Amino acid sequence: MTATFTSLSLEMRLEPTDLKLADGAFVALVGPNGSGKTSLLHAMAGIAGDATARTIDGEPVPQGQPARRARLIGLMPANRALAWPIPVRDLLSLSPVPVDPERVASLVKRLELTDLIDRPANALSTGERARVFLARTLASRPRLLLLDEPLANLDPYWALSIVDLLREEARGGTMIVTAMHDFALARRFDRMLLMHEGRLALDGPSSETMRKERFANIFRLAPEGEGWRPA
């Protein structure tokens, strides 16, 4: 089964973009700041912009119908701000669809949230909130996960652990698109989308894409040993 997005666009910020994702797609979305990564995720989620067609497993993604959309698409925004003191336990249960308590319990254990479960979510560190928001996004088992900088503000252990968790979800058939800046972590993804000035500049296997001259030029970098330097 696949997800298909045809002529995604967002006025003045995202050029018309066509994408197709297969079952288990494990995709890193990269690009300089302001290149259109968040705009693309929002257009795919249908919360902004237009599309000629947006289907998942052959089913049109509905406008409205929050419960059905939650089964098809889970979006984790980059903003970790939370104004109200809702306990983590209650935040994990907030969903337009019923969530499986065993699924939530498994995520709480995997993401080591047990000691945080009764704390107000707005009192957590940014990294702790990132783990909580990821657990909430995963809880309803959406077919497509759109994650905006889920690894930001995480220490190396948690960044690597969450990439491993996401890969396990992909192996189960979930389609995953993850916006990020860390090249070392991006190499762990099967496919890479490179955004530049509101358009999709490169699309291919991560390791091959990162070796292309255009990749380096867009980021204004030059290879240096195993890493990079400003060009």
**DSSP element (H, E) containing 178:** strand 175-179
**Is residue 98 included in any domain, yes or no?**
no
pLDDT of residue 64: 66
**Is residue 53 included in any domain, yes or no?**
yes
Kind of pairing, strands 221-224 and 199-205? unpaired
Query: Got the DSSP string for 114-160?
Result: GGGTTSBGGGS-HHHHHHHHHHHHHHT--SEEEEESTTTT--HHHHH
Question: Could you give the angle at the alpha carbon of 221 between the alpha carbons of 37 and 218, nearest 5°?
Answer: 40
**The domain spanning residue 179 has which CATH number?**
3.40.50.300
pLDDT beneath 70, residues of the chain: 1, 12, 64
**Is residue 7 included in any domain, yes or no?**
yes
Task: State how many domains the chain has.
Answer: 1
pLDDT of residue 51: 85
**Is residue 200 included in any domain, yes or no?**
yes
Q: Please name the amino acid found at residue 151.
A: L
Q: Give me the domain span that covers residue 75.
A: 2-85+142-230
231 SS3 class: coil
pLDDT digits 0-9 by tens, 80-126:
888 788 999 999 988 888 899 999 999 999 999 999 999 999 999 99
pLDDT of residue 161: 98
pLDDT of residue 1: 66
**Is residue 219 included in any domain, yes or no?**
yes
Query: Got the DSSP string for 7-76?
Result: EEEETTTEEEEEEEEETT-EEEEE-STTSSHHHHHHHHHTSSSB-SEEEETTEEPPSS-HHHHHHHEEEE
